Structure 1
């Protein structure tokens, strides 16, 4: 199994990687790629667990960036666009096979990969889990045909398949799971066991959801104009995490009174606006500490906390572990 990526981001403009059959391994294999060009900077972290290959990108690219990609094997890909957008266009097609916008996810099957990957938005943060049919058969056993009966034809006929016509939004609960994976504070065997368990559970939840065995998400009955205004508030929050962000200011941006904003925001996100802001602050702080070498006090200041101890307490409540564990 071999992948080839072509891009000016890589030395000699090409990056090739070989994998064991079905990504099988008894070890945790890690690789870190640092990118520093005039237009693109950031880091790509790769992890190979038993039966799966995980790619985490944290890239700053105001103009976007793209890869030419080819694989000589069939894969399933579960892609989470935490920030920024993603698009894959096969070489033989004029239009994209799939597009995933900011804060959405989708899963897809590619019998052959040969095309263009395009990323837009900055910062561009993604979590991608790549695996083969072998892992699905191992996870669901005799229920394989039932679980994947809706894509069985695509697999048998060697045709690409996108699980959801419309990408799914990343809920606050799912976002927390993704951050737990990205910011895993452990090392060695404990890290391998933790991530293998966490990602396996995530994959099973997604497969069950697709198969229709979970209750459908309640439809959000908000006018499009109101949703658009809440999106304006979201963008303002993401761009101003260092500020105090009082509800009165956010209400003015939305053009709602504070009661309506808090109510509709919770209906749309499944969490309160205060918890949403705190989660974003902790995610940003985690990235600053882990990837940028910030001290806890520096990271706290960058996300609006003047008191590092207050920040540490909030971080522990939100993330489930202390920020100091990110430095181990």
Structure 2
């Protein structure tokens, strides 16, 4: 099947879907669900309006045949996270597949986007959609406003991958599995959206030498980002500070002071927080017990994991495990 959508505002995309997919529609306040008709497939597409200019769209469906979409939007900034299923995307001569990289973000302005969703696959994805104006409102009155505006302009027509980190997985998981209702749910979702925006802007910061965050030299900044990546990839068996400095060709002083300046925390604090966040996900999603989660993230002594977990989250991991 083929579909053409021309959306004049952020919410026009989903409205276009609703007029095309003739299945049942369920309205629950600001939440709108489309149930696919048996002729098209099984499953649903749900839209939660957060506020004018921001919405969350969650697709969970299996199509009977390939679905080709030609979408033109006046303006949109989107973060797209795919859990399963393969979508091919083409824009401005560029292409990507969600099978290769599950999370991407892009900014479009009167640009045609072509999407090809494959049939007979379980297709599950999350879309955070907002107007560029709404994104910029978060920075009104701040010195960063002009830099974010400039960064947005550079993003126009580009599709950029976002690394699938523990922090991103956590925010996505909490959006999809939010247990709040009504206005509390909208508030909860917006807080998670802001976490994802921070990750996106942090991703953009690596290539934005004019961003007024640090006086660290470009070469050292790149090495510090490499150090952070090494920490993320070796949670269970981390390098010592000396080994990390040697691996990134930084002396220990530059590593310690530069990391703190660039990322707002020490190397140890960053490693600890990542371990605790991954441990939380393992208990919540994979249903590991406290001891198993502690070992999986590199704690040889579960009591040390429990103490650090309590200090960060205000409850011990056993209490958290029982509440999930």
Normalised by the size of structure 2, how large is the TM-score?
Answer: 0.54
Q: What's the offset of the Cα at 1:103?
A: 6.2
Note if contact 1:28-1:47 (Cα within 8 Å) is conserved in structure 2.
Answer: no
Q: State the secondary structure of the residue aligned to 1:106.
A: strand
**Is 1:218 the counterpart of 2:229 in the alignment?**
yes
Quickly say closer, same or farther: Cα 1:204–1:35, change in 2 above 3 A: same
Larger gyration radius, structure 1 or structure 2: 2
Which residue is equivalent to 1:76? 77
Cα 1:35/1:271, change in 2 over 3 Å: farther
Q: 1:67 aligns to what?
A: 69
Structure 2: give runs of 5+ residues left out of the alignment.
1-8, 207-212, 214-220, 234-273, 288-316
Alpha-carbon shift at residue 105 of structure 1 (Å): 0.8
- Among residues 183, 187, 199, which one is paired with 2:181 in the alignment? 187
Shift of 1:139: 1.1
CA gap of 1:150–1:273, structure 2 versus 1, over 3 A, is: closer
Residues 271 and 190 (structure 1 numbering): CA distance in 2 closer, same or farther, change over 3 Å? closer
Equivalent runs, 1:42-53 vs 2, <5 Å = 42-50=43-51, 51-53=53-55
Distance 1:58 1:149 in 2: 35
**Partner secondary structure for residue 218 of structure 1:** helix
Contact kept, 8 Å, 1:28 with 1:192, in 2: the verdict is: no
- In structure 2, relative to structure 1, the CA distance for the partners of 1:175 and 1:113 (3 Å cut) is same
SS in 2 for 1:37: coil
CA offset at residue 145 of structure 1?
Answer: 2.4
Structure 2 distance, partners of 1:123, 1:32, is 18
The CA RMSD measured in Å over matched residues stands at 4.2
- Aligned with residue 54 of structure 1, among 41, 56, 60: 56
Task: Report the secondary structure of 2:86's partner residue.
Answer: strand
Aligned position for 2:115: 117
Equivalent residue number for residue 99 of structure 2: 101
The residue number in structure 2 matching 1:304 is none
TM-score (norm 1): 0.54
Change in Cα spacing, 1:70 to 1:194, as seen in structure 2 (3 Å) is: same
1:325 corresponds in structure 2 to none
What is aligned with 1:160?
A: 157
Q: Give the whole-Å Cα distance in 1 for the aligned partners of 2:152 and 2:20.
A: 35
The 5-angstrom pairing of residues 180-259 of structure 1 reads 180-212=174-206, 216=225, 217-218=228-229
For this pair of structures, how many residues does the alignment match?
220
Contact residue 57 and residue 128 of structure 2 kept, 8 A: yes
Q: Select 1:173's aligned residue among 167, 176, 182.
A: 167
State the shift of 1:129 in Å.
0.8
Instruction: Measure the CA separation in 2 of the matches of 1:62 and 1:87.
Output: 17
